Structure 1
Amino acid sequence: MTNKLIRQKITDLNVCVIIPTYNNQRTLKRVLNGVLELTNNIIVVNDGSTDTTSTILKEYQQLQQIHFPKNKGKGLALKEGFKLAVSLGYQFAITIDSDGQHFPIDIPNFINELELNNSKDMLIIGSRNMEQEGVPGKSSFGNKFSNFWFWVETGIKLKDTQSGFRLYPLNVIKNLKFYTTKFEFEIEVIVKTAWKDVEVKNIPIQVLYDETERVSHFRPFKDFTRISILNTWLVFLTLIYYLPRRFLRNIKKKGLKKFFVEDLLGSNDSPKKKALSIALGTFIGFSPLWGFHTFLVLTLAIFLKLNKAISFAFSNVSLPPFIPFIIFASLELGQWVLGENISYSIEDLMDNFEAIEHLKTYLVGSFTLAIIGAIVFGFIGYIFFSLSNRKKMTLKND
């Protein structure tokens, strides 16, 4: 495909290229000239460079430029670039690093992917081959770390979540609120974009790590700490809001019956995995850890690699109408285990029962009920799903 054709496609699709730069005097001109072969829709953000970057950029007066007097961080540089791109009427922005690790000749890959998807809002991340020779070990580890947490937070599996070579949908980005300003911004932006139900995907790109000319501004301790704090917050939001919301939206979209058949019964998980998911949900639902049920069940389902939908569904055995009966059963079991005899009624539980007075009995009974419930419901679930699988296999053979 000729550069002339790509240039026309970039114009037709309303795409610009944003190049944030900070003290990359050795590679900046090469990156700029490479992008200029494909488009003049370029925004350069000079993030307070102290080398000859400003002098180099004087040779490119035809380009849109933003200059920070002091270094403010890549995240803020990208946000200012996005703002300018939106004000200029662009719908998509490709970001490419100025340190020479990315090849401008890969820009057509992003444009072709966008065109194939009928220019719909999507976020495309260039996937580097992290196994190739010359890739720093810390970069490979950091990428795997980031990929894992992105999957936890969004349910989307990607090969590369840290590459700065990306295509952003500006119509979505402009309406989101971001709170980070450094390298962690590139994680915040893809997670929040995915939460808006925008497709996030990888496409392969080339990468070059030339330590003789490349300048990395990543500070392992400070930036890794920032990223860890951000991921902790995003995981918390995922567990208390976005996963339950996704679960409830799926029920609303499909209807309870269809959701139950497709997502619960129709899951490709084995009967054993489904049964263990039921057991986990039932245990958490009957446990006395009120207020933390959703957080705990989704966290454990993720880390134990169980079915999140099934676990969450069965954790709701403790819906408000059932709570007095659960407490009643817990107290009865607690008395039996501890050999006590307490006088109360269901009315006491619903009106003025003071649980703290019999807290030990309640806690012992509650965990006993949780264990018994998990075993019983898990066993019944295993039998049910095993018979369902056999029935399916029989119908297929017929």
Structure 2
Amino acid sequence: MKTGFCVVIPVYNHPDTIADTVAEVRSAGFPVILVDDGSEPVCAGVLDRLTEGDEAVHLRRLQVNGGKGRAVKSGLLMARELGFAHALQIDADGQHDPQDIPRLVRLSRQHPDAIISGMPAYDDSVPRVRYYSRYLTHVWVWINTLSLEVRDSMCGFRAYPLQPVCELIGREYLGDRMDFDTEVLVRWVWQGGRVFQFSTRVRYPRDGISHFRGFEDNWLITRMHTRLFFGMLRRLPRLLARRLRRREVSS
């Protein structure tokens, strides 16, 4: 049984960047779980080759593309099956800086029962519309958690404590696509979990591939915020009581 960290990478048609991402993660000394989210043959072949000759690179293949959230959930469940205690999440397209993995691991060891999540420090490659539109989600998360603890809920560079997060996956509905990253943090906070964040450099993909589906994913995210808002209203007395308790402890 393993007790340390692994890295989960959801992959959907990033044949030009995934090998470099895996190489950087492996050079940091961490096992990798690749989740092929129904990629086309070229990318699938790259993933097959990455698993050859390296027992620390695992592959879970989903035959039909189901979305980033579904792939991440599948990878986290596989990580628990393999006996890991914590899993890092990183994108396949080169957005996230693998050099920050040691910081992520260090924070996770300091707060082993918390989710550790990056807050993007963007360079000039970020589209301005996407940069500013993120704040709509930030405001809704602050409303739905009655807290400013989650300052950025959309960064997919994270560390998860596997046992409680996998239990949450089995117990609650969590989005299968771009809504997953935000929803898992809100529902984690609802059940009393803590989130710690740190600034990390984010650059936009070198291959220019984005799987954000415009109208479809914006509609999914709108439905998610609506669903979470009514969920917050049902939990309002408990969330307010928790805030009061934490305020009393801190004072």
Per the alignment, residue 144 of structure 2 pairs with 153
The separation in 2 between residues aligned to 1:150 and 1:21, in whole angstroms, is: 27
Q: Cα offset for 1:198?
A: 1.2
The separation in 1 between residues aligned to 2:29 and 2:227, in whole angstroms, is: 39
Q: Identify which of 176, 180, 188 aligns with 1:181.
A: 176
> What do residues 289-347 of structure 1 show as CA deviations (whole Å, max 9, x unaligned)?
xxxxxxxxxxxxxxxxxxxxxxxxxxxxxxxxxxxxxxxxxxxxxxxxxxxxxxxxxxx
8 Å CA contact 2:2–2:85 kept in 1: the answer is no
TM-score by length of 2: 0.88
More strand by share: 2
Q: Quick one: which amino acid aligns to residue 185 of structure 2?
A: I
Q: Cα offset for 1:13?
A: 6.0
Alignment of 1:374-385 (within 5 A): none
Per the alignment, residue 26 of structure 2 pairs with 36
The separation in 2 between residues aligned to 1:102 and 1:127, in whole angstroms, is: 11
The separation in 2 between residues aligned to 1:185 and 1:145, in whole angstroms, is: 16
Report whether the alignment pairs 1:80 with 2:74.
yes
Per the alignment, residue 237 of structure 2 pairs with 244
Q: Cα offset for 1:250?
A: 6.3
The separation in 1 between residues aligned to 2:198 and 2:126, in whole angstroms, is: 18
What is the DSSP-based 3-state SS (H/G/I as helix, E as strand, rest coil) of the residue aligned with 2:60?
strand
8 Å CA contact 1:128–1:207 kept in 2: the answer is yes
Judged with a 3 Å threshold, the aligned counterparts in structure 2 of structure 1 residues 249 and 125 are, in CA distance, closer, same or farther, namely closer
What is the DSSP-based 3-state SS (H/G/I as helix, E as strand, rest coil) of the residue aligned with 1:80?
helix
TM-score by length of 1: 0.57
> What do residues 254-282 of structure 1 show as CA deviations (whole Å, max 9, x unaligned)?
9xxxx9xx69xxx9xxxxxxxxxxxxxxx
The separation in 2 between residues aligned to 1:179 and 1:206, in whole angstroms, is: 27
> What do residues 1-38 of structure 1 show as CA deviations (whole Å, max 9, x unaligned)?
xxxxxxxxxx9961110000001111111101000101
Report whether the alignment pairs 1:113 with 2:107.
yes
8 Å CA contact 2:2–2:84 kept in 1: the answer is no
Q: Cα offset for 1:204?
A: 1.2
What is the DSSP-based 3-state SS (H/G/I as helix, E as strand, rest coil) of the residue aligned with 2:167?
coil
List alignment gaps of at least 5 residues for structure 1.
1-10, 268-398
Alignment of 1:199-348 (within 5 A): 199-210=194-205, 213-239=207-233, 241-248=234-241
Q: Quick one: which amino acid aligns to residue 146 of structure 2?
A: G
Per the alignment, residue 95 of structure 1 pairs with 89
What is the DSSP-based 3-state SS (H/G/I as helix, E as strand, rest coil) of the residue aligned with 2:116?
strand
More helix by share: 1
Report whether the alignment pairs 1:17 with 2:7.
yes
Judged with a 3 Å threshold, the aligned counterparts in structure 2 of structure 1 residues 81 and 37 are, in CA distance, closer, same or farther, namely same
Q: Cα offset for 1:76?
A: 0.8
Number of aligned residues: 242
